[in-house]
Structure 1
Amino acid sequence: MKIMIIGSMAFSKEMLSAKEELTDKGFTVWIPDDAQVHVDNPDLADDFKENFKHATETDIMWKCFDKVAKSDAVLALNYPKNNTEGYIGTSTRMEIALAYYFKKHLFLLNNFPSEEECRWAHEIKIMNPTVLDGSFEKLVSLLNS
């Protein structure tokens, strides 16, 4: 079972940790190729000029989309960010939509806001992801059943 972990690059440390935990459980796990770059340079995501240069030179969006397409399941790490519980940023929403299109198992680590709180939550709700309530064990159980 191949799992692609997605999320805000602000959660890069968490991506590395989740990859290790799920790999130890026997899964093949992918994360964005530049996760360590973002751990080493946590300001990169918010420095639009440098981030644009990095993203275009590495073609990171295409690489992430390709991993989503090749995966069996997609796990979005949607921790609180920007005063939003269950934050899902624009790039992550695009990856979720791609996973939905390719009929991948779609998981969110945490619940997401209501449509009243965040307009984008409506589209996420339509794609019917499985919410794991913060539990990787729930993911393991569901994927192994």
Structure 2
Amino acid sequence: MKIMICGSMAFSREMLATKKKLEAMGHTVNVPYDTVVHLADEKLVDDLDRNLIHARERDLMRQSFKLVAKSDAILVLNHKRKGIEGYIGTSALMEIGLAYYLGKKIFLLYDVPHHDRVRWAHEIRLISPVILHGDWSKMRS
């Protein structure tokens, strides 16, 4: 299966580790084009002024959308971030929406918080993604 890994760029290291794991299972895996850049500059993800220039110059959102479109599925790495278990950032939420619209399989590493905590959890539940809960066998095609 062709899989695009999505999630906050704060999880760049985890994206590369997950890519290796999925490739060992026989999948073809893509990560965002600037994953290595974020590994080298971990402050870039939260420096929105610099990040805006970086992302615009490379047309990163469109590039990520193209990778989603070419994939059979997306896997969202939604580790804990900013005190939120199952965190999904705005770019990942947009990629999820695109994947849903295109009829792609959608996998989340962990469940999302209750919608009383974060409003976007309601929309995630509407699309009924597959929650892995550590069971990588659910990634079979």
Structure 2 residue runs without a partner (length 5+): none
Matched with 2:11 is 11
User: Which deviates more from structure 2 when the two are superposed, residues 79-88 or residues 130-139?
Assistant: 130-139
**Structure 1 gap segments, 5+ residues each:** none
| 1:49-68 equivalences in 2 (<5 Å) | 49-68=49-68
Residue 29 of structure 1: aligned partner: 29
Distance 1:135 1:109 in 2: 9
Q: Using the TM superposition, give the Cα deviation of residue 117 of structure 1 relative to its aligned residue in structure 2, in angstroms.
A: 1.1
Measure how far apart 1:79 and its partner are. Answer: 0.3
Superposed displacement of residue 25, structure 1 = 1.3
Q: Tell me the equivalent position of 1:139.
A: 139
Displacement of 1:136:
2.5
Letter in 1 for 2:91: S
Q: Secondary structure at the match of 1:128?
A: coil
Q: Tell me what 2:101 maps to.
A: 101
Name the SS of the counterpart of 1:45 in structure 2.
coil
TM-score, structure 2 normalization: 0.97
User: SS at the partner of 2:45?
Assistant: helix
Residue 79 of structure 2 aligns with which residue? 79
TM-score by length of 1: 0.94
Distance (Å, rounded) in 2 between the aligned partners of 1:68 and 1:116: 29
Distance 2:49 2:133 in 1: 36
Which amino acid in structure 1 is aligned with residue 78 of structure 2?
N
Structure 1 outlier segments of 4+, above 2 Å: 134-138
CA distance in structure 2 between the partners assigned to 1:139 and 1:26 by the alignment: 11
Amino acid at match of 2:17: S
Corresponding residue pairs, total: 141
The percent of aligned pairs where both chains have the same amino acid is 50
Deviations 1:36-57 (A, max 9, x none): 1001100001111210110001
Give, in angstroms, the shift of residue 96 of structure 1.
Answer: 0.3
CA RMSD of aligned residues (A): 0.9
Q: What amino acid maps onto 1:25 in structure 2?
A: M
